[in-house]
Structure 1
Amino acid sequence: MMTLPPEPVCAMALTRVKGLSFAAALQVYQAAGSATALFAARGDLRAFLPDVHPRVAAAMRQSDDALLRAEAEWELCQREGIGVSCLNDEAYPARLRNCPDAPLVLFHKGASCLSERHVVAVVGTRHVTEQGKDTVRRLCAELAETVPDVVVVSGLAYGVDIQAHRGALAEGLRTVAVLAHGFDRIYPAVHRTTAVEMLTRGGLVTEYMTGTVPDKGNFVRRNRIVAGLVDACVVVESASKGGALITARLAGEYDRDVFAFPGRVTDPYSEGCNRLIASNQAQLLTCGGALAEAMGWTVKKEKGKPVQRELFAELTEEEAALCRLLNGTDGVQLNMLAVRSGIPVQQVSNIMFDLEMRGIVRMIPGSIYRLV
């Protein structure tokens, strides 16, 4: 019997199988429970998964090249100190795992900080103005003062992205870049120095193997990772169209809080932000302190009176678990409840809605829940 390679290799190979779309790969992976199980049964996949589409089964039978490519990548990762996390790994970022289109594999370099309590995306136009640069600097400075453990996520691109990374580093914050290519290059190359500095003060993340070029489609796809890794997404400047607006839309779909800095109606790179605010797709933001307050990240001096444990006896097991996480706190953000409880974020949202209707919890701005 052939010895199968480890799960990371099989997961990488699954993303490279010819004729298998990302959606199909994710669906069959979830049905099987692991990539290793899929490759173990690839000779007769329909015997293992009777409902699998014949085309998927046929593609898996022709997956030798994908496995060879994945084994070579795995060896490179081990040599170069590149971390590999699969969707079912404990080390995989919990916020991202709860997204319906989370990548099967994440490659990462640097310090692991994507499971911290406070994570925010700062995104915007590549044609950042001087006012936009100043806004990013002030935002990072105010977050450093108010929420010093916050992690700033962006995409290492020109404009707002690189300003966000550099602003975070200047204020002693950790920052993570989501790349649209493999780790055999940095794009744009002029940002390499910043990227290297980030390895000790955050890190770099990508879903792409080495040899992947930074084409336009990859930049669009990586936006879902930026949105999925965070609790909140802040748009600093954006024209009427652009990648930042895609990230903001995805963040809203993932039930993240979205904020935007307003600008003059005559400024072309404020048009997107103003539209997000006017259409209620984003909350108006003026400073880092307001973001921290809206998200419930500011530390309160006076704690509320703890709710008696007897209350929890009337609840289901999952309801009681979430209430225990809230007990004795000033409130916990929705995504953090999902992270700490291990319950999918959409299910947590439904449970909290029911509890709110029963008068047990209440929601405050920022999707923060408190016991009544």
Structure 2
Amino acid sequence: MTDTDLLNTLALMRVEGVGDIVAKKLINHLGSAQAVFNAKRSQLLAIEGVGEIMYNNLKNTNVFKLAESEVKFVKEQGIKPLYFLDADYPERLKHCIDGPVVLFSSGRIDMAGRKTISIVGTRQMTSYGADFCRKLIEDLSPLNPVIISGFAYGVDIFAHQIAMDNNLQTIGVVAHGLNQIYPKVHKKYVAKMEENGGFFTEFWSTSNPDKENFVKRNRIVAGISEATIIIESAEKGGSLITANVANDYNRDVFAVPGRVTDKYSMGCNNLIKSQRANVLTNAADLVYMLNWELEEKKHKPVQKQLFVQLEGDEQTVYDYLQKNGKELMDIIALHCDLPIYRLSSLLLTMELKGLIRPLPGKLFEAI
């Protein structure tokens, strides 16, 4: 967007009574933020929900002084503003009615056509949560997904770290302006994240990491992704808010189950119990539920690797499929004497090795 467009759009966002939903409504009716400010009284009052108070608020020129300062900051710092009608604005966020009109971006973010998941959870992550998060991202890495989180303590920063360890693009959605980092101890991760990924925020440089900002931030984390994964959560917590927003956006939500006595599994168990989240026990669950294996089959046929080393159970499953052709997961588990959770993991590993292919209806066949 041009500097003029940015100035007028930011000014519009500073008008009292105008939020993301109202701003989009005005822009969609009149064509641009500049057109909103230039519109006649009769044009504005003809829009449903616009009355005399808002019309008078739109005549307040002080909003342009605030916007001018922010435009200067954005240009000086090399921050990229993404406008909700632009092609490079995150596609899934365009379909969220309350998504930000302008999203500020830093780093080298490229989400076009990429698989995208959000991983969130408690700030008090346990070794159970850490082990699961690490294994999940490592197992998904051949599919090259973008890993999104909130750059907070605990699960968030751990997910970013493991993504970087596996050379995956990772994006931190922060609850403040891009002139600062919160928490400050995470500053050491910024440069590496911006090399392959970066940061998103809707907040101006005048915004501090206030409590209410984190709740607003969570809707971006939920809306920007195909699915939201809750690794660990107490009975109450910010990650549960993210899960609820993801459900409202009709996104898939997954929760990692834990023992009923574990404090930081209570939130996940409750999400599963109330059917607000799918059970997530391994990467295969996610790949299957999101149909990622089917998409890969359409766009990039799997080629069988030569001289692949098979483990004992992998050899058993492969020999069975070679002999019997395509078969249901439950039938494979029965005849190979394997529990479903173990077989799901094996099938994903074998698919990534190019030994088998998934078919609709939980069917699998050897290649």
TM-score (structure 2 length as normaliser): 0.77
| TM-aligned CA deviation for residue 253 of structure 1 | 1.3
Aligned ranges 1:1-372 → 2 under 5 Å: 6-41=4-39, 44-51=40-47, 52-62=50-60, 64-145=61-142, 147=143, 149-298=144-293
| TM-aligned CA deviation for residue 88 of structure 1 | 1.4
Q: Is the 8 A contact 2:81 2:103 kept in 1?
A: yes
CA distance in 2, matches of 1:24, 1:106: 16
Q: Percent identity, aligned pairs only?
A: 40
Distance 1:258 1:265, change over 3 A: same
Q: Which amino acid aligns with 1:236?
A: I
| TM-aligned CA deviation for residue 33 of structure 1 | 2.9
Equivalent residue number for residue 353 of structure 1: none
Distance 1:301 1:124, change over 3 A: closer
- Structure 2, gaps ≥5 residues long: 300-359, 363-367
- Structure 1, gaps ≥5 residues long: 305-362, 366-372
Q: Which amino acid aligns with 2:22?
A: A
| TM-aligned CA deviation for residue 69 of structure 1 | 1.6
**Residues 319-357 of structure 1, C-alpha deviations (whole Å, 9 max, x = no match):** xxxxxxxxxxxxxxxxxxxxxxxxxxxxxxxxxxxxxxx
Name the larger-Rg structure: 2
Q: Which amino acid aligns with 2:275?
A: N
CA distance in 1, matches of 2:296, 2:226: 23
**Residues 32-61 of structure 1, C-alpha deviations (whole Å, 9 max, x = no match):** 2321211222xx343355232211111101
Q: How big is the alpha-carbon RMSD for the aligned residues of Structure 1 and Structure 2? A: 2.2
CA distance in 2, matches of 1:12, 1:97: 18
| TM-aligned CA deviation for residue 303 of structure 1 | 6.3
Q: Which amino acid aligns with 2:15?
A: V
Q: Is the 8 A contact 2:45 2:52 kept in 1?
A: no
TM-score (structure 1 length as normaliser): 0.76
Q: Is the 8 A contact 1:8 1:85 kept in 2?
A: no
| TM-aligned CA deviation for residue 23 of structure 1 | 4.0
Q: Aligned to 2:250, what secondary structure does the other structure show?
A: coil
CA distance in 2, matches of 1:208, 1:301: 36
CA distance in 1, matches of 2:250, 2:64: 36
